[in-house]
Amino acid sequence: MKLLPTTMRASHLSESRQKTELSVVQGDITTLRVDAIVNAANSALAGGGGVDGAIHAAAGPTVMEECRKIIGAQGSCPTGTSVVTSAGRLFASWIIHTVGPIWEHHDPIDSSTLLSNCYSSALASGTQVDARSIAFPAISTGIYGFPRELAAPIAVTSVLDWLRTHEGSPSLTDVIFVCFDETNYEILRDTLTRLT
Ligand code: ADP
């Protein structure tokens, strides 16, 4: 797979009906050779720990400047929505910042809907900038506390549903789920096998 650095663990591949390839890899999302990476941001786009901190550290200060301008213009980034910035020093051209739900702030059904909205709004944002390849972290499964076993099928079905309802969007060739730890990698890999 050309999109991965050689240090990354082999991915499980699958094929959606729209010829967009879905895959799961274990590694650091900041190192992927994709057009766009998704950031699990907060509603203030203020940076923080986890994947958000890793992305800003790797991308450099220009990305945070763009985030501040977006917040200055729109006030906040509501849960489930996405905004796009450039990607600073990353290989990627774009960072799609999406705001996942905090598990304990909502009931489980609302949390699931909001998490699904993250995937669909990020895909919509990605196609607006003509991204052909988009990499997602496991949104909300870290500091925000969304149970990983519940988040994985939401991630996969949200992407598959979005692809099915956007068959006229041929530019997207690859969607990659990037898991930092081995357990989440195995959960996502098994979920993708089961649902595709
Ligand atoms: P959230 O606040 O949305 O829960 P976190 O960053 O705390 O965001 O965690 C989201 C997921 O991202 C977790 O599964 C975590 O293991 C993973 N993660 C952390 N750092 C990275 C990274 N550099 N690349 C990919 N995934 C990462």
Do the domain assignments include residue 67? yes
The DSSP string of 38-54 is: EEEE-TT----SHHHHH
Looking at per-residue confidence, does 196 or 180 come out higher? 180
Window from 8-17, 25-34, 111-120 with minimum mean pLDDT: 8-17
Q: Is 107 exposed, middle or buried (0-12, 13-18, 19+ CB in 10 A)?
A: exposed
pLDDT above 60: residue 8: no
- In this structure, the residue with its CA closest to atom 26 of ligand 1 is 180
Q: Are 36 and 129 in contact (CB under 8 A)?
A: yes
Site to probe by mutation for ligand 1, drawn from 180, 184, 185 as the one with most ligand atoms within 8 Å of Cβ, is 180
Site to probe by mutation for ligand 1, drawn from 51, 104, 117, 191 as the one with most ligand atoms within 8 Å of Cβ, is 51
In the DSSP assignment, the letter for residue 182 is H
* CATH code, 169: 3.40.220.10
Please give the average per-residue pLDDT across 26-35, as a whole number.
97
Do the domain assignments include residue 65? yes
Do the domain assignments include residue 185? yes
Number of domains in the chain: 1
CA of 168 from ligand 1 middle (Å) equals: 31
CA-nearest of 126, 127, 122, 163 to 139 is: 122
Minimum-distance ligand 1 atom for the alpha carbon of 49: 6
pLDDT tier at 167, thresholds 50, 70, 90: confident
Please write the tens of the pLDDT for every residue from 81-135.
Answer: 999 999 999 999 999 999 999 999 999 999 999 999 999 999 999 999 999 999 9
CA of 32 from ligand 1 middle (Å) equals: 15
115: left (phi over 0), alpha (psi -120 to 50) or beta: alpha
The DSSP string of 69-137 is: HHHHHHS---TT-EEEEE-TTSSSSEEEEEEPPPGGGS-HHHHHHHHHHHHHHHHHHHHHTT-SEEEEE
Which sequence positions are flagged as catalytic? 52
- In this structure, the residue with its CA closest to atom 23 of ligand 1 is 28
* Per-residue confidence (pLDDT) for residue 6, from 0 to 100: 47
Do the domain assignments include residue 173? yes
Owning domain of residue 78: 18-195
Q: Which helix (H) or strand (E) holds 15?
A: strand 12-15
Mode of pairing for the β-strands spanning 94-99 and 82-86? antiparallel
Do the domain assignments include residue 4? no
- In this structure, the residue with its CA closest to atom 19 of ligand 1 is 51
Do the domain assignments include residue 149? yes
pLDDT, averaged across the chain: 92
CA distances from 69 to 45, 81, 108, 172 (A): 10, 17, 33, 28
CA of 180 from ligand 1 middle (Å) equals: 7
Q: Which residues line ligand 1 (CB under 6 A)?
A: 28-30, 40, 50-52, 54, 100, 137-144, 178, 180-181, 184
* Per-residue confidence (pLDDT) for residue 5, from 0 to 100: 58
- In this structure, the residue with its CA closest to atom 21 of ligand 1 is 51
Contacts of 68 (CB under 8 A, 6+ apart): 45
pLDDT above 60: residue 11: no
Do the domain assignments include residue 13? no
